[in-house]
Amino acid sequence: MKTIPILLFVFAICALPAICQADPGIPGAYVSGFIGVHVPGDTDVPSTDFLTNESFNDRVEFDPGINIGGTGGYDFGIVRLEGELSHKYSTIKTITDQTAGDLIRSPNGDLGVLAIMFNGFIDLHNNSQLTPYLGGGVGFASMYLSDTYGITTSGGISKMTLLYGAGNDTVFAYQVGAGLDIALNRRFSLDVGYRYFGTSRADFYSDLAISSSMKFESHTSTLGFRYRY
């Protein structure tokens, strides 16, 4: 992990000559691509097993995951409007049964989030090639939850148990964020950004008579390149 700040520092030093000589970006249409790391927040997951008629209330923690996507929009000079397509992926790290207070061992499952967002940003132009910006957006997220297993203990006997069945749902999504646009020349720029992303509650109904639901929230840092036409 210590190598990441070092690599970013080396990149910044190498990029300084280009940044200092760059011209400010020009208004107009643009496209961009980005990649980053997102850190999901913990979430409550109520679920029901209709075969045993049992209900559970779990607390799920995710591992950090990859966020990748792209945008296309129009820069009006101060305001930018864009459409965004992105995908976030995370594996489940821990599951705690809040009803019994037990930590379920060796959970095995993952969550994917495909988001279509409509964003608006305000660019805070100045006399340098560094342009801070802030804004946000709304849209939709298609969430996919895989079959999720974990080791549970009952009566002193441990066994691998299906906790959540695979399912998907499309829900309302929103995000807010800020960043820094670094002009490399009149058409190319480097984008370093932060986003807070959230969804409404998604309901997953599997073919195994198990239903579960969850909200999704994450903090995301991204690095991208923007090209202006």
C-alpha closest to that of 229 among 90, 102, 74 = 74
Query: Bigger pLDDT: 134 or 3?
Result: 134
For 26-78, the pLDDT digits (tens) are: 789 999 999 999 999 999 999 988 877 888 899 999 999 999 999 999 999 89
pLDDT at 5 over 50: no
Q: Which pTM was predicted?
A: 0.83
Given a contact cutoff of 8 angstroms between Cβ atoms, the answer to whether 122 and 79 are in contact is: yes
The reported pLDDT for the residue numbered 206 is 78
> Distance from CA of residue 65 to its chain's centroid?
8
DSSP-derived letter for residue 109 is: -
Domains and CATH numbers, the chain: 3-228 (2.40.160.20)
C-alpha closest to that of 23 among 179, 187, 226 = 187
Task: Say how far apart CA 179 and CA 191 lie, in whole Å.
Answer: 7
Task: Say how far apart CA 217 and CA 62 lie, in whole Å.
Answer: 11
The reported pLDDT for the residue numbered 24 is 52
The reported pLDDT for the residue numbered 209 is 81
**Span between the terminal Cα atoms of the chain, in Å:** 37
For 178-194, the pLDDT digits (tens) are: 999 999 998 999 999 99
